[in-house]
Structure 1
């Protein structure tokens, strides 16, 4: 059996891990300035200037208490710009009370039970030969891969989101900001 430490894949993943860890520490400093690690995911989302749409969706889906008290959770948090990629009519419809079940499914597809730092995700990808899967609170799978130096999440229909800011620690988990909304099914 070929020595894993000398394989090109292991060396490439190690280089990516080292680069991403350094990059995520730099990126997360900006995010962490606006988030207090002694507050909950819900409290920090409410204080964030870049997650107003996410906050409205969390409130409409009645997930505010869960993200305030329970945990730990890893939240892949779409920014307002990410939500802006969804057609306005679709977003308005999701926020209606009669669509609470669908909104709940979309939001819980962005949450994984446990505290997954960027380095934990990268280590899982190393073990998975460049790919790692995570089961969301919603019950479906998210797949993490690398594209250049970026961690890319792929939903079960092929949509992708890039982690743009990583490792904002909260008292009940961690937030990673993503650039697109991922979906549990076609919407």
Structure 2
């Protein structure tokens, strides 16, 4: 005869199923509410999100994507600053966005270049103990969004 404890175990196991079903996608990012810009804003990249909106890139990042966003934290933006020229700002910010959904697990063990929305190449190195993008460490990986994944980074990427 099932005990109350058996019932609790079953309830806990069943409640985990919807969460497990969320994992997946091309790179394996988990679905979440909000687009990549919303997720970046909610996790400490408010200055970056504000700059993307100012540069006119927010509408692009609100579409279905998917996108991988390498979002500098507020601290990284404050340390590096952003260009005041609108064209230079737009190009710099677009350099932080890669079409596709690339999680840390997908990037683990590879050293690869991707073409950014700016049209130039960014290097993502997952061969070491953590992800590094153009020499800048990923500080928080795999923040799932409805249209991709966000990786917080500890600096502003400089186009090569």
Q: TM-score range by the shorter chain?
A: 0.7 to 0.9
Determine the C-alpha separation between the residues in 1 that align with 2:70 and 2:98: 8
* Residues 107-137 of structure 1: per-residue CA shift (max 9 Å, x gap): 11111001001111125x1xxxxx2111111
Distance 2:118 2:86 in 1: 14
- Pick the structure with greater CA Rg: 2
Distance 1:178 1:110 in 2: 10
TM-score where L is the length of structure 1? 0.63
Q: Distance in 1 between matches of 2:108 and 2:89?
A: 29
Q: How far apart are 1:148 and its partner, in Å? A: 4.5
Q: Deviations over 1:27-46 (max 9, x none)?
A: xxxxxxxxx81211123334
Query: Which residue number in structure 2 is paired with residue 114 of structure 1?
Result: 100
Aligned to 1:183: 158
Q: How far 1:146 moved relative to its partner?
A: 4.7
- 1:141 aligned onto 2:121: yes
Q: 2:88 pairs with 73, 87, 102, which one?
A: 102
Q: What is the CA distance between 1:50 and its match in structure 2?
A: 1.4
Counterparts of 1:59 and 1:139 in 2: how far apart (Å)? 19
Give the number of equivalent residue pairs.
130
Structure 2 residue runs of 5 or longer lacking an equivalent are: 1-30
Q: Once superposed, which parts of structure 1, at least 4 consecutive aligned residues long, lie more than 6 Å away?
A: none
The separation in 2 between residues aligned to 1:182 and 1:63, in whole angstroms, is 17
Runs of 5+ consecutive residues of structure 1 not aligned to the other structure: 1-35, 126-130, 155-159
**Alpha-carbon spacing, 1:117–1:147, altered in 2? closer, same or farther (3 Å):** closer
Quote the residue 2:65 is aligned against: 71
Among 139, 145, 152, the residue aligned to 1:164: 139
> Which residue in 1 is equivalent to 2:32?
37
- 2:139, 2:120 → 1: CA distance? 22
Tell me how far apart the structure 1 counterparts of residues 79 and 150 of structure 2 sit (CA, whole Å): 20
Q: TM-score, normalised to structure 2's length?
A: 0.73
Match of 2:71, SS? strand
